[in-house]
Amino acid sequence: MAGVSVQAFRRQGRRFGAGLVCSEMVSCAGLQHGNERSLGYLRIASDERPLAVQIFGSEPKVMAEAARMVEDAGADLVDVNFGCPVKKVTKTGAGATLLEDPERACGIVSAVAEAVSVPVTVKMRRGLENGSRACLELGPRLVEAGAESLTLHPRSARQMYTGEADHSLTAQLVSRVDVPVIASGDVTSRARAQAILATTGAAAVMVGRAAQGNPWALREMIEGDAEAPTREEVVAELILFMRATVRELGEKRASGFLKKFYGWYLGQLGAPRITKPFKQELVQLESLDEVETRLLAAAPGAAEVLEALQTEAPDGEDDVVLDLPISIYGGG
Q: What letter would DSSP give residue 228?
A: P
3-state secondary structure of 48: helix
Q: What is the DSSP track for 142-171?
A: HHHHT-SEEEEEEEETTTTT-S---HHHHH
Cis link prior to 215 (omega < 30° from 0)?
no
Q: What letter would DSSP give residue 47?
A: G
Indicate the burial class of 300 (C-beta count within 10 angstroms; 0-12, 13-18, 19 or more): exposed
Amino acid at 110: S
Cα separation, 187 vs 191, in Å, equals: 9
> What is the torsional sign of CA 328, 239, 9, 15?
positive
Indicate the burial class of 28 (C-beta count within 10 angstroms; 0-12, 13-18, 19 or more): buried
**Residue 76: closest CA among 56, 54, 91:** 54
User: Of 22, 28, 84, 106, which residue is the catalytic one?
Assistant: 84
Collect all residues with Cβ–Cβ distance below 8 Å to 206 and sequence separation of at least 6: 22, 151, 153, 182, 183, 184, 187
Strand 120-127, strand 77-82: pairing: parallel
Helices (H), the chain: 7-15, 28-32, 36-40, 60-73, 87-90, 102-115, 134-145, 167-176, 190-200, 216-223, 231-249, 251-257, 259-266, 272-284, 288-298, 302-312
Q: Look up 28 and say whether it is catalytic.
A: no
Catalytic amino acids? 84
